[in-house]
Amino acid sequence: MTDQDVPTAEETQVDEPALIHGAPSSLSRGQLVVHVDRDGYLELVTALRDDGYAFCSDLTAIDYLLATDRPLPTGVTPERFEVVVSLLHMEEAKRVRVRAQVPEREPTLPTLFELFPGTEAMEREVYDLFGIVFDGHPDLTRILMPDEWEGHPLRKDYPIGRIPVQFKDAPGPR
């Protein structure tokens, strides 16, 4: 690769993000990323499914408690939580990532279960570990932590504790 092959900052800078179904988009490592707020989440994912993105390969969340100043396209208001959904267009071998902003004061999103039944366990995991509620989910109960567990362990403000690991038949300390 020569210096002529590397695009300059002027060539890669985008003044206004392209809109995908009315939502701003960006590129991340060559992958299309569509940014949406909570109100447009279900409508956007439905439109993408109708465009041929018929498989949801992943749904997870991020707690940006300490990084609220992360770079986002113009017009996207950062929130503490972000739900990230990866969709695949199997016929055209394309991928799109949806990043939905979820406010701390009311961490809820509509469920994607009716569109993608495979998200049932993924949404339960996000609920269990981050406390984000998916409205309309058929069984929003804990999936990894015991039912009586208090709090959501992947939140950045969750207290850190230590549980000693005990190995069966392991020799004691010397």
Query: Could you tell me the CATH number of the domain that includes residue 67?
Result: 3.30.460.80
118 within 8 A of 136, measured Cβ to Cβ: no
Domain assignment present for 171: no
Domain assignment present for 10: no
Domain assignment present for 5: no
**Domain interval for residue 112:** 23-135
Instruction: State the pTM of this model.
Output: 0.82
Domain assignment present for 34: yes
Domain assignment present for 148: no
Per run of 10 residues, the mean pLDDT along the chain (length 174 residues) is 46 64 93 95 98 98 90 91 98 97 97 98 98 97 93 91 67 63
Structure confidence at residue 108 (pLDDT): 98
Q: How far lies 19's CA from each of 44, 106, 159, in Å?
A: 11, 26, 40
d(CA 26, CA 8): 18
The total number of structural domains that make up the chain: 1
Coil, strand, or helix at residue 38?
helix
DSSP for residue 18:
P
Domain assignment present for 131: yes
- Provide the 10 A C-beta neighbour count for residue 106: 8
Domain assignment present for 154: no
